[in-house]
């Protein structure tokens, strides 16, 4: 390759030949050399405006030649035109790298801008060439699309005038065409261009009309289908979530899968530090909208009792809303106004009642379980749902007297106490229940009196504790949690009928006892002590 200075001397002459003469391999080499030259900062900074004018004319000529091809026998000539088109885009792409001067030169050339020409080429190579020659389409058009869209990105980045130009000439058809293209790199580059162009004013444009909203919906779909791409996620978290109006419009048209994806992105933002949440722009209006959606659609989760499908998207959507509301009300000042919506608290308490009742009425996904051995394989779609309902109740009652009273009026205190048991389907439910009870009773004498009025009726069924090696003792009104005693033989070792294990005893009055018995029993291996029958015990001994 010649030195950049040498290329500059005859550049205009060489480009003029490309405009006037029929396309050839030699012309392609000229463009390839120019692409390499534009990698040098010194060359980029010194190029003349006439170079970009010539490139526009060459692109216009190539566009006409491509549109003229209608015969499959002309594959070689078509391939050359496509390669030259891609090379022209590479030149312009390289010319814009960290060079605001060249960006402005391209923008000032004409009112039509190179982007208009590019879009015409894009539309053609995206449809017509597939019909003419599928091999050429997949091998040669993808580089044209990739380089062209990369050029648009470099043309717009860091330059508001150029961003506005791309938006003016490319929105919405450019993004509608290429955000769901079959080529993943084209999709990635297109989402990069969209992210580069977006600002508050352009997000407002997305709300206007269904065709404009379709662009936003394609971004959400992209987040679900290709979560490894960063640009779509950044578009949603940095721009879409700042517009509650846009999110509400999208929610009305998105399917439940896409809604769940959007809620997951909201949760990602809520997981950041308080300052980052402020910067993310998630508005109070959006929080109120999520609360309203939960109130309207929360009953959908009850269908899991009869049809526990892990793919029930309606129920999963409700659980996603609940997760978001729990996180928003976790003492985040920006969203604590949700405590003022009494209907949200009422809905949550009543739903907990229904879920709790359904779980007790028959065995289903809401039934408490104490068997932790199969939880990993069970795939319970309602995992943690009751615990999160209780968490939300506790959050809404935190330092809020009105909500504390509301829980009492809804008979929610006893309901919370009834959920203090360990439940394998609801990790940490007992901790969340204790937390909620604490918040409901905090500085509320009437609620505390309800608790004082409860009568102790002995130890409830503690079979779950026994399975884990513990037992409850009621001692003078206090409940003590104790491990099973090491010495607790379930059978009489001194039986005259089964006296295979004899222990010397001492007599005191009418009683017989042996201080050696506990030591002897504890020396027996645990697996033998816990055998289910006396016969099995004899065999093991």
pLDDT digits (tens, 9 = 90+) for 85-96: 999 999 999 999
- Residue 68 scores a pLDDT above 80: no
The stretch 32-47 carries a mean pLDDT of: 91
Calpha distance 402→72 (Å, rounded): 77
- Residue 477 scores a pLDDT above 70: no
- Residue 409 scores a pLDDT above 90: yes
Same-domain check for residues 213 and 297? no
pLDDT at 7: 54
Tell which residue, 360, 422, 432, has the closest CA to residue 397. 432
Same-domain check for residues 403 and 514? no
From the CB of residue 514, how many other CB atoms can be counted at a distance below 10 Å? Answer: 14
Indicate the pLDDT class of residue 397, thresholds 50, 70 and 90. Answer: very high
∠ CA 147-150-152, rounded to 5°: 115
Q: Quick one: which H or E segment has residue 490?
A: none
Same-domain check for residues 137 and 245? no
Calpha distance 243→390 (Å, rounded): 30
Same-domain check for residues 164 and 31? yes
Q: How many residues does the chain have?
A: 541
Indicate the pLDDT class of residue 78, thresholds 50, 70 and 90. Answer: confident
Calpha distance 259→156 (Å, rounded): 31
Indicate the pLDDT class of residue 483, thresholds 50, 70 and 90. Answer: confident
Residues 6+ apart with CB under 8 A from 233: 223, 227, 265
From the CB of residue 426, how many other CB atoms can be counted at a distance below 10 Å? Answer: 26
Same-domain check for residues 63 and 95? yes
Output the CA–CA distances (angstroms, integers) from residue 473 to 477, 479, 491, 525, in the order listed.
Answer: 10, 6, 22, 26
The stretch 57-63 carries a mean pLDDT of: 87
Would you say residue 76 lies in a domain? yes
Q: What are the φ and ψ backbone dihedral angles of 495, each rounded to 5 degrees? A: -60, 135
Would you say residue 160 lies in a domain? yes
Indicate the pLDDT class of residue 525, thresholds 50, 70 and 90. Answer: confident
Of these ranges, 45-54, 78-87, 345-354, the one predicted with the greatest mean pLDDT is 345-354
pLDDT at 63: 82
Same-domain check for residues 256 and 388? no
Q: Which residues of 180-189 are buried (b: 16+ CB within 10 A; e: fewer)?
A: ebebeebbbb
- Residue 490 scores a pLDDT above 60: no
Calpha distance 425→94 (Å, rounded): 57
Name which residue leads in pLDDT, 247 or 462.
247
Calpha distance 417→103 (Å, rounded): 67
- Residue 503 scores a pLDDT above 60: no
In the three-class reduction of DSSP (H, G, I as helix; E, B as strand; rest coil), residue 478 is classed as strand
Q: Residue 493 CA to chain centroid, in angstroms?
A: 62
Q: Quick one: which H or E segment has residue 493?
A: none
The structure tokens listed for 489 are 């033989």
Same-domain check for residues 207 and 101? no
Indicate the pLDDT class of residue 110, thresholds 50, 70 and 90. Answer: low
Domain residues for the domain of 177 are: 1-194
Would you say residue 132 lies in a domain? yes
Output the CA–CA distances (angstroms, integers) from residue 279 to 171, 237, 238, 274, 334, in the order listed.
Answer: 27, 10, 9, 9, 12
Provide, rounded to the nearest whole percent, the portion of the chain with pLDDT above 90.
49
* Least-confidence region, from 125-139, 444-458, 519-533: 125-139
Would you say residue 346 lies in a domain? yes
Would you say residue 329 lies in a domain? yes
The structure tokens listed for 120 are 């015409």
Q: Quick one: which H or E segment has residue 68?
A: helix 49-68
Out of 172, 194, 216, pick the residue that ends a domain: 194
Calpha distance 290→310 (Å, rounded): 23
The stretch 347-370 carries a mean pLDDT of: 92
Same-domain check for residues 299 and 258? no
pLDDT at 502: 46
Same-domain check for residues 173 and 39? yes
Would you say residue 107 lies in a domain? yes
The pLDDT tens digits of the residues spanning 291-316 come to 999 999 999 999 998 887 777 889 99
In the three-class reduction of DSSP (H, G, I as helix; E, B as strand; rest coil), residue 470 is classed as strand
The structure tokens listed for 106 are 């391209």
Tell which residue, 181, 150, 147, has the closest CA to residue 166. 150
Token pair 């997981």 in the structure block, residue: 271
Mean pLDDT of the chain: 83
CATH number at residue 385: 1.25.10
Would you say residue 207 lies in a domain? yes
Out of 282, 301, 329, pick the residue that ends a domain: 282
Same-domain check for residues 480 and 354? yes
∠ CA 460-463-465, rounded to 5°: 95
Task: Count the domains in the chain.
Answer: 4
Q: What is the pTM of this model?
A: 0.80
Q: What is the dihedral of CA 420, 421, 424, 429, to 10 degrees?
A: 10
The stretch 5-13 carries a mean pLDDT of: 66
Q: What are the φ and ψ backbone dihedral angles of 92, each rounded to 5 degrees? A: -65, -40
Calpha distance 504→192 (Å, rounded): 87
Same-domain check for residues 302 and 355? yes
Output the CA–CA distances (angstroms, integers) from residue 346 to 402, 403, 459, in the order listed.
Answer: 12, 9, 31
Token pair 């029930």 in the structure block, residue: 312
Same-domain check for residues 422 and 296? yes
Out of 194, 218, 244, pick the residue that ends a domain: 194
Calpha distance 508→512 (Å, rounded): 7
Would you say residue 459 lies in a domain? no
The stretch 506-517 carries a mean pLDDT of: 50
């Amino acid at each position: 390759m010649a030195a950049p200075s040498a290329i500059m001397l005859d550049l205009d002459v060489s480009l003029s030949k490309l405009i006037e003469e029929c396309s050839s391999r030699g012309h392609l080499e000229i463009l390839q050399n120019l692409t390499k030259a534009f990698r040098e900062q010194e060359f980029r900074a010194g190029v003349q405006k006439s170079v970009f004018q010539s490139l526009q004319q060459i692109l216009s000529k190539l566009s006409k030649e491509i549109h003229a091809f209608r015969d499959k026998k002309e594959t070689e000539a078509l391939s050359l035109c496509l390669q030259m088109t891609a090379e022209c885009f590479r030149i312009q792409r390289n010319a814009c790298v960290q060079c605001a001067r060249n960006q402005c030169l391209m923008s000032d050339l004409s009112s039509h801008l190179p982007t208009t020409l590019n879009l015409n080429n894009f539309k053609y190579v995206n449809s017509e060439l597939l019909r003419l020659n599928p091999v050429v389409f997949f091998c040669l058009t993808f580089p044209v699309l990739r380089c062209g869209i990369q050029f648009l990105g470099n043309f717009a980045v860091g330059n508001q005038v150029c961003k506005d130009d791309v938006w003016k000439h490319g929105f919405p058809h450019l993004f509608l065409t290429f955000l769901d293209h079959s080529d993943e790199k084209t999709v990635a580059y297109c989402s990069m261009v969209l992210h580069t162009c977006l600002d508050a004013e352009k997000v407002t444009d997305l709300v206007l009309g269904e065709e404009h909203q379709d662009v936003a919906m394609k971004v959400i779909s992209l987040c679900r289908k290709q979560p490894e791409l960063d640009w779509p996620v950044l578009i949603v978290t940095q721009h879409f979530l700042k517009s509650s109006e846009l999110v509400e419009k999208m929610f009305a048209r998105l399917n439940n899968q896409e809604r769940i994806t959007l809620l997951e992105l909201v949760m990602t933002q809520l997981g950041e530090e308080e300052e980052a949440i402020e910067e993310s722009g998630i508005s109070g209006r959006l929080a109120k909208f999520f609360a309203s959606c939960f109130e309207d659609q929360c009953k959908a989760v009850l269908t899991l009792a009869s049809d526990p499908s892990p793919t029930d998207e309606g129920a999963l959507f409700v659980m996603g809303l609940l997760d978001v509301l729990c996180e928003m009300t976790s003492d985040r000042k920006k969203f604590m106004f949700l405590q003022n919506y009494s209907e949200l608290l009422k809905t949550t308490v009543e739903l907990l009642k229904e879920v709790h009742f359904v779980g007790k009425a028959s065995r289903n996904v809401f039934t408490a379980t104490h068997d932790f051995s199969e939880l990993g394989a069970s795939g319970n779609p309602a995992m943690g749902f009751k615990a999160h309902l209780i968490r939300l109740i506790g959050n809404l009652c935190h330092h809020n007297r009105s909500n504390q009273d509301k829980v009492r009026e809804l008979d929610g205190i006893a309901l919370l106490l009834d959920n203090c048991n360990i439940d394998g389907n609801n990790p940490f439910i007992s901790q969340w229940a204790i937390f909620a009870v604490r918040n409901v009773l905090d500085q509320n004498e009437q609620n505390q009196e309800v608790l004082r009025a409860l009568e102790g009726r002995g130890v409830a069924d503690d079979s779950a504790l026994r399975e884990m090696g513990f037992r409850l003792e009621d001692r003078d009104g206090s409940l003590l949690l104790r491990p099973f005693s090491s010495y607790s033989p379930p059978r009489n070792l001194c039986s005259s009928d089964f006296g295979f294990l004899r222990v010397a005893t001492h007599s005191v009055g009418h009683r017989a006892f042996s201080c050696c018995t506990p030591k002897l029993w504890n020396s027996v291996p645990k697996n033998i002590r816990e055998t289910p029958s006396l016969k099995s015990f004899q065999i093991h001994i």
